[in-house]
Structure 1
Amino acid sequence: MSQLFRLIFRIRNFLLFAILELVSFWLLVKNNHYWDVSFFNTSNYYAAKTLESSNYVKNYMNLGNINDQLIAENAQLKKAVATMQSLKPREGEYYKVDSAFARRFEFKVAKVVNNTVGLSKNYLTIDKGTLDGIEPGMGVICPQGVVGTVMQCSEHFSRVYSILHSESKVSSEVKNTTLRVKNDKALGIAEWGGLNPKIINLNTIDRFKPIKQGDSVVTSEQNVIYPSGTMIGKIRKLSAKQDQAFFDIEVELATDFRNLSYVYIVNNKLKKEQDLLEQSTTEEKK
């Protein structure tokens, strides 16, 4: 304490000067209208700037919560869109979709905690597991498009093999105006070639189908894992030789696997029923 008093005593002249300066400035502002207005405007300007900066920092710190809310809302929107698409007549006006079939898809949000893209068999790890109702065989998508399929689950995590996997196959369909006008379909199988994580191959598309570069490739209705119409990518290159029955097609993926943060796990509530029926039919044939 004595050291503090000695310090104050040593700088007493400076402190007296600073106090007198402040008093002089205050008297100048209060007794001069121009200075009073200028000080008021200047102080308001810097107060507003300080408040703006403070609000910016608060909003930035709250971005995580806002992002989580938007992701959850998107999951609900995807469920609504999948239901609406399923309710559309597929075989003519006489066809009526069963409501249970139309509402078979449910979506849950998960965060990607690990991801590979440079291997021949690539995987993701997400932060949802059996305690969250996740099971092997469920599909995984993101806002841009298809991601992969759940392979294995623990209580809190799940392992997903992405479509950048040598054994992954996705039932796909090419969409364009010409096909829609002709009421025609161009169905194929999307498989990764194992080289470029931005490109996937589309096989078994009849080379006489009216498709072209830039057409959209989506999941087909012959799919129990993903909702039909989920984006896969756009045709980047296609070619066919005279003796070939099918196109050689390269598709530029819509999903950027190098920058995956959040995904949606897709639960088809009718998948087990369909699998059991198809399995029993297969066993009968044997």
Structure 2
Amino acid sequence: MGELVDFFIRSRNFILFVLLEVLSFYFIINTNNYWGATYFNTSNRYAAQVLAWSNAVNEFARLRQVNADLAMENERLNAQLTQLLQSKPAAPAEYAADSAFASRFKFTVAKVVNNTTQFANNYITIDKGTDDGIRPGMGVISPTGVVGRVKSCNRHFSVVTSILHSSFLVSSALTKAEEIGTARWDGVDPHLIKLNDISLTKPVAKGDSVVTSERNSTFPPGILVGRVRTVGVQPNRVFHDITLDLATNFSSLAFVYVVENRLQTEQEQLENQIETEK
């Protein structure tokens, strides 16, 4: 307390000067209309600027929560859309899928915590594991398209084999030509992927959509793989040379959806049984 008193005594001249300056400034503003208006306009402008900066900071701080909320909403909408499409597939009018088949896909939202794109074989790490019902073999998609397949899990994390992997294959269908082929990355550009085994007899045009086909048990059918970028002819072969623009931008991948096919094990057990009986 004594030190504080000593400080005021030593600084009394400076403190008096400041008080007189403030008092003078107060009288100028309150007795002169021009300077009063100038002061209030200036203070309001700076106050508005500070408020705008404050709002911008608050909005930026909330972006993480906003993105998480949007991911959860997309998870719900994906489940509803997939169930609707599976209950009314392109089939004869008398055909109707049973409820178990139509609702066989379950979606779990997860956050990407690590991701590579620069190698020949790339992997993604997500923040969901066996405690969240994730297991190897499940498909992984993004809000825009195919991402990969779960390779391994522990309780809280999973490693996903990216579609940007030399051995990753996706059964894919050209929507206009209604032809099924195989999408496979050639290890060059992380924005492009090849579509193989499309016959030259099938018309293919730039911009055509390529989606997951009905002939796989990992991904729901109709998930976008990419769009045709270029169409050529493979030398001495009867197939198109097709390059796609990947639907998923892996450089900005933040949230993904792990897809569980509840009937996958049942389907594969039956198919394996038939194979062993041949």
Q: Distance in 1 between matches of 2:70 and 2:256?
A: 12
d(CA) in 2 for partners of 1:25, 1:194: 71
Number of the residue aligned with 2:196: 203
2:182 alignment partner in structure 1? 189
1:91 aligns with 2:84: no
Give the CA deviation at 1:115. Answer: 2.3
**Aligned counterpart, 2:69:** 69
Shift in CA distance, 215/42, structure 1 to aligned 2, threshold 3 Å: same
CA distance in 1: counterparts of 2:211 and 2:40, whole angstroms: 62
Deviations 1:246-269 (A, max 9, x none): 222222212222332221101111
Q: Which runs of 5+ in 2 are unaligned?
A: none
Give the drift of 1:97.
2.6
The match for 2:255 among 244, 257, 262 is 262
Aligned-residue sequence identity (percent) comes to 47
Q: CA deviation at 1:87?
A: 2.9
Tell me the distance in 1 between the aligned counterparts of 2:229 and 2:102: 32
Correspondence 1:273 to 2:266: yes
Deviation string 1:175-221 (CA, Å, 9 cap, x unpaired) is 23xx4xxxxx1110112223332222211111110112221111112
Deviation at 1:38, TM superposition (A): 3.9
Superposition pairs of residues 134-149 of structure 1, within 5 angstroms: 134-149=134-149
* CA distance in structure 2 between the partners assigned to 1:44 and 1:249 by the alignment: 61
Q: Which position in structure 1 is the counterpart of 2:227?
A: 234
Residue 216 of structure 2 corresponds to 223
CA displacement, residues 112-158 of structure 1 (integer Å, 9 cap, x when unaligned): 22222233322222111100000111000112211111111111111
Aligned to 1:182: none
Comparing 266-275 and 111-120, the one that deviates more: 111-120
Q: Which residue of 1 aligns with 2:168?
A: 168
Q: Residues 80-101 of structure 1, C-alpha deviation per residue, up to 9 Å, x if partnerless? A: 2222222333123232232322
- Please give the per-residue CA displacement for 1:54-103, whole angstroms capped at 9, x wherever unaligned: 22222221221111111111111111222222233312323223232222
* Distance in 2 of aligned mates of 1:145 and 1:212: 20
Q: How is 1:110-121 mapped onto 2 (pairs within 5 angstroms)?
A: 110-121=110-121
Q: Distance in 2 between matches of 1:41 and 1:160?
A: 58
Q: CA deviation at 1:162?
A: 1.2
Range 27-36 or range 225-234, more displaced: 27-36
Equivalent residue letter for 1:154: N
> Which amino acid in 2 is paired with 1:98?
D
1:21-60 map, 5 Å: 21-60=21-60
Note the C-alpha offset of 1:22.
1.1
Normalised TM-score (structure 2)? 0.90
Task: Kindly report the root-mean-square deviation, in angstroms, between the aligned alpha carbons of the 2 structures.
Answer: 2.2
1:53 is paired with a residue whose SS is helix
Residues 43-64 of structure 1: per-residue CA shift (max 9 Å, x gap): 3333333222222222221221
Letter matched to residue 258 of structure 2: I
Aligned equivalent of 1:150: 150
Letter of the 2:182 partner, please give it: I
1:250 aligns with 2:246: no
CA–CA distance in 2 between the matches of 1:148 and 1:32?
72
In 1, the alpha carbon distance for the partners of 2:33 and 2:189 equals 72
State how far apart, in whole Å, the 2-side matches of 1:136 and 1:241 are.
35
Q: Comparing 48-57 with 239-248, which one deviates more in the overlay?
A: 239-248
Gaps of 5+ in 1: 180-184
DSSP-derived class of the 1:62 partner:
helix
